[in-house]
Amino acid sequence: KVHEATVSAPVNIAVIKYWGKRDSALILPTNSSLSVTLSQDHLSTRTTIRASPDFPADRLWLNGVEEDISASKRLVNSITTARKLREALEEKQRKDGIPAESVVPLSKWSIHVCSENNFPTAAGLASSASGYAALVSALGALYDLPQSTSELSRVARVGSGSACRSMFGGFVAWQAGVADDGNDSLAVQVANRQHWPELQALILVASDRKKAISSTAGMQTTVETSSLFAERVRTVVPQRMEAMKTAIANRDFENFAEITMRDSNQFHAVCLDTYPPISYMNDTSRAIVGLIHAFNAARGRIAAAYTYDAGPNAVIYALKDDMRDLVELFTFCFPREESMLADAFYPDPFGVF
């Protein structure tokens, strides 16, 4: 009598950053954002959900270790929202005249959730985005929900904002929306992965330590204290969203890359303008910024872009041919063994994925 579904969801890396909420309970953002979903091979979460009338309670295992499911309000919110959609579906099936015994009351059964990352959680790489996207996709499959992926992205959003963008592959916009209930705050696909196959991402792990200030806490302080932030939300991001969509539509790497770097820089500037200030990048991160600008200057064009989230690790975007040279450059500039030895300069482990 056990029903089961398994789904994997990848990590996404924003090129226009989400930072700031206008509603913390529903996770409604102050601005729209745009990201690239990475391939599932390296960074993804695989989630299996089983439902049975014999399970006495909901349970959760993360990477094989059981966690207290009720301790996470966000997790409970996501599951409850998905259950309500299933309840509505069962109601509809009964109304449509499907015999009661054929309507499986899945919404009433407890679930067991097993979630595993194919990357070390300690690496400080976003795991909540792929985690919630996998959870919601698996619930959607288990419950046979009729909602579109965009509609389901709202359920992932109440788990973690950036998770709504991991519901799609390729290039994804999270529209901030204006509605108080969050009905129009959802993810839409701007272009699929095949639209721009030459574009590649490289992740440079500048530190595998856990970040000091979580995104959730950090962005709240920014909203409350930064005056630069208000300007970013009001004028900069709306214009960049449009310019970025155009760059993607035209496969215009130079514009894509410049907007990406400028938006990462502004996001970190806004973090420094937060009071007390938040600083996510470290010396290694800043060395990489310098290296990318030197690389672009040497090429006489913008051939690579960096972007940083709420941590020191870099994500580099480049077209395939340039990426080959970049990997060589990084391996030369940051040899693994030496960077571990040169403690004063590069205090953190450094690896190239």
Smallest Cα–Cα separation from 8: which of 125, 106, 129?
129
- State which residue has the least CB distance to ligand DP6: 161
Q: How far is the CB of 287 from ligand DP6 (least distance, A)?
A: 21
CB 52 within 8 A of CB 3: yes
CA 320 to chain centre: 23
Among 8, 216, 221, 265, binds ligand DP6 (CB under 6 A): 216
Handedness of CA 35, 27, 159, 266 (dihedral sign): positive
Quote the least distance from Cβ 163 to ligand DP6, whole Å.
Answer: 6
Q: Between 55 and 119, whose beta carbon lies closer to ligand DP6? A: 119
Q: How far is the CB of 2 from ligand DP6 (least distance, A)?
A: 31
Q: With the CA atoms of 187, 191, 194 and 199 taken in that order, what torsion angle do they form, in degrees rounded to the nearest 10?
A: -90
Options 13-21, 57-65, 83-91, 336-344: segment touching ligand DP6 (CB under 6 A): 13-21
Q: How far is the CB of 113 from ligand DP6 (least distance, A)?
A: 18
Q: How many residues bind ligand DP6 (CB under 6 A)?
A: 14
DSSP string, 101-159: GGS--GGGSEEEEEEEESS-GGG----HHHHHHHHHHHHHHHTT----HHHHHHHHHTT
- The reply to whether 17 sits near ligand DP6 by the rule CB under 6 A is yes
Which part of the chain contacts ligand DP6 (CB under 6 A), choosing from 16-24, 59-67, 85-93, 316-324?
Answer: 16-24
Residue 228 CB, nearest approach to ligand DP6 (Å): 16
Report the distance separating Cα 308 and Cα 331, nearest Å.
20
- Comparing CB distances to ligand DP6, the nearer of 106 and 176 is 176
> Should residue 309 be labelled a site residue for ligand DP6 when binding is judged by CB under 6 A?
yes
**What is the rounded CA–CA span in Å between residue 139 and residue 143?**
6
HSE-up of residue 294 (Cα within 13 Å, Cβ side): 10
Site map (CB under 6 A) of ligand DP6, residues 51-80, x = contact: ------------------------------
CA-CA-CA-CA torsion for 167, 168, 172, 178, nearest 10 degrees?
Answer: -40
232: its two tokens = 């970013």
Q: Which stretch binds ligand DP6 (CB under 6 A): 75-83, 156-164, 194-202, 321-329?
A: 156-164
Shorter beta-carbon distance to ligand DP6: residue 140 or 218: 218
Q: How far is the CB of 33 from ligand DP6 (least distance, A)?
A: 5
- The rounded distance, in Å, linking the Cα atoms of 304 and 140 is 37
Residue 27 binds to ligand DP6 (criterion: CB under 6 A): yes
Question: Whose Cβ is closer to ligand DP6: residue 143's or residue 174's?
Answer: 174
What would the x/- binding string for ligand DP6 be over residues 33 to 52, using CB under 6 A?
A: x-------------------
Given CA atoms 274, 275, 281, 283 in this order, what sign does their dihedral have?
Answer: positive
Q: Binding to ligand DP6 (CB under 6 A): which residues in 157-176? A: 160-162
How far the first Cα of the chain sits from its last, in Å, is 42
- Does 310 bind ligand DP6 (CB under 6 A)? Our answer is yes
**215 sits near ligand DP6 (criterion: CB under 6 A):** yes
- Bin 177: left if φ > 0, else alpha if -120 < ψ < 50, else beta: left
- Tokens found for residue 322: 């340039």
Q: Which stretch binds ligand DP6 (CB under 6 A): 3-11, 12-20, 60-68, 255-263?
A: 12-20
- Closer by beta carbon to ligand DP6, 14 or else 155: 14
Look up residue 108 and give its two tokens. Answer: 């009433």
Positions in the binding site for ligand DP6 (CB under 6 A): 14, 17-19, 27, 33, 128, 160-162, 215-216, 309-310
